[in-house]
């Protein structure tokens, strides 16, 4: 099992969701965050709302998946989040972390079956 964390441009969220649903990835947590990448927010000001200082508004998507869903989930996020053909500065990042355990609270189920 893996835990995928993607930081994307807010205006790309609908596209990313649509691409994920096409791949039958239907469970996710979405939050509004602020951050900056290696340009420290400087070159992105014209495209992103500046929150405070050099921190820009981003969307964080979290998805827990079984191993056979990792590649398609990552590719779906890439398709949805990349601006144009070759992408643009600030389009975001995807982190894939090992996931040790999942529990569905209602049933007590655990492991792959509890993911979704």
* Binding interface with ligand ATP (CB under 6 A): 7, 35-39, 56, 58, 89-93
- Choose the one of ligand ATP, Mg ion, none that binds residue 93, judging by a C-beta under 5 to 8 angstroms depending on kind: ligand ATP
Size of the chain in residues: 116
Shortest Å distance, C-beta 82 to ligand ATP? 10
Residues that bind Mg ion (CB under 5 A): 37, 39, 89-90
CA dihedral 3, 109, 100, 82 (to 10 degrees): -10
Classify residue 13 by burial, with Cβ atoms within 10 Å: 0-12, 13-18, 19+.
middle
Shortest Å distance, C-beta 116 to ligand ATP? 25
């Amino acid at each position: 099992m893996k835990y995928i964390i993607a930081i994307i441009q807010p205006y790309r969220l609908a596209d990313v969701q649509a691409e994920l649903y096409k791949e039958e990835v239907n469970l996710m947590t979405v939050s509004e965050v602020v951050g900056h990448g290696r340009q420290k927010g400087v070159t992105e000001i014209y495209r992103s709302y500046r929150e405070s200082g050099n921190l820009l508004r981003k969307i964080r998507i979290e998805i827990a998946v079984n191993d056979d869903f990792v590649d398609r989930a990552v590719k779906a996020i890439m398709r949805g989040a990349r601006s144009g053909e070759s992408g643009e500065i600030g389009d975001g990042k995807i982190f894939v972390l090992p996931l040790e355990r999942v529990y569905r609270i209602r049933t007590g189920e655990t492991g792959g079956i509890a993911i979704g």
